[in-house]
Amino acid sequence: AQRVTQPEKLLSVFKGAPVELKCNYSYSGSPELFWYVQYSRQRLQLLLRHISRESIKGFTADLNKGETSFHLKKPFAQEEDSAMYYCALRPGNAGNMLTFGGGTRLMVKP
Amino acid sequence: GEEVAQTPKHLVRGEGQKAKLYCAPIKGHSYVFWYQQVLKNEFKFLISFQNENVFDETGMPKERFSAKCLPNSPCSLEIQATKLEDSAVYFCASSQSRGEGYTFGSGTRLTVV
């Protein structure tokens, strides 16, 4: 069975500081990894997926299979980045469920 | 449409009453998923469909929960004889194919009193 761990429930940084939200996973096969974001009073939105290797809103995430990690990074945090961030894993077959981490609340202070 | 539509947004039921939640996936998406979010953070997978067929129901409580996705109708999640611990936000998501992330609905907040 797969498992996703986000060790920090809350991460508080000042505007302009670098941000790293940690995500570790355990899965014996080849997973697909995602980051979702939930802004206040809004629905869960897809932020990043590892297969596309893109940068969205300045965020990047690299899949490290050796360390089984998929940390989310941004060099300079903005106040509008304040939200709940969820790391999620899907086994490498279409239609299988997502397994979510417990989420990290990012607070960016002015 | 391009949004997953969930209704109602809020639902209040007395213990023992039935609750029925609806989800209209994005047109063309073959997979539908239901998740339960309790305590605001933890997402628990309930069930998934591929078109109208159950794909994975390993997360469904067997006794009181049921779900359907029928052609030309919104998908539904029904809870018979609700209990206090069923209070949660229920999210529906849909997906077109492998490699894409899911698109989530805004959720239905169920409160059992």
User: Each residue of B67-112: pLDDT tens digit?
Assistant: 999 988 999 999 999 999 999 999 999 988 755 778 999 999 999 9
CB–CB contact B48 A95 (8 Å): yes
Residue B13, min C-alpha distance to chain A (Å): 23
Q: Could you tell me if A103 and A10 are in contact, meaning their C-beta atoms sit under 8 angstroms apart?
A: no
- Residues from B contacting A (CB-CB < 8 Å) are 30-31, 33, 35, 41-43, 45, 48, 50, 55-56, 59, 91, 93, 95, 97-107
- State residue A105's pLDDT score: 96
> Which of B26, B69, B98 has the most A C-beta neighbours within 10 Å, making it the best mutation to test the interface with A?
B98
Q: In which residue ranges of chain A is pLDDT below 70?
A: 93-95
CB–CB contact B99 A102 (8 Å): no
**What's the whole-number average pLDDT of chain A?**
91
CA A62/CA A78 separation, integer angstroms: 21
pLDDT digit string, tens, across residues B20-77: 999 999 998 989 999 999 876 788 999 999 999 998 898 999 899 999 999 889 999 9
CA angle A53, A56, A59 (to 5 degrees): 85
User: Number of Cβ pairs closer than 8 Å across A and B?
Assistant: 55
What are the structure tokens assigned to A4, written together? 């996703």
Asked if residue B1 has pLDDT above 70, the reply is no
CA B36/CA B26 separation, integer angstroms: 20
Q: Could you tell me if A21 and A85 are in contact, meaning their C-beta atoms sit under 8 angstroms apart?
A: yes
- State residue A93's pLDDT score: 63
Pairing of strands B31-38, B88-95: antiparallel
- State residue A97's pLDDT score: 84
The residue with tokens 């206090």 is: B84
Chain A residue at shortest CA distance from B97: A94
pLDDT digit string, tens, across residues A52-69: 777 889 999 989 989 999
Q: Could you tell me if B9 and B27 are in contact, meaning their C-beta atoms sit under 8 angstroms apart?
A: no
- State residue B65's pLDDT score: 96
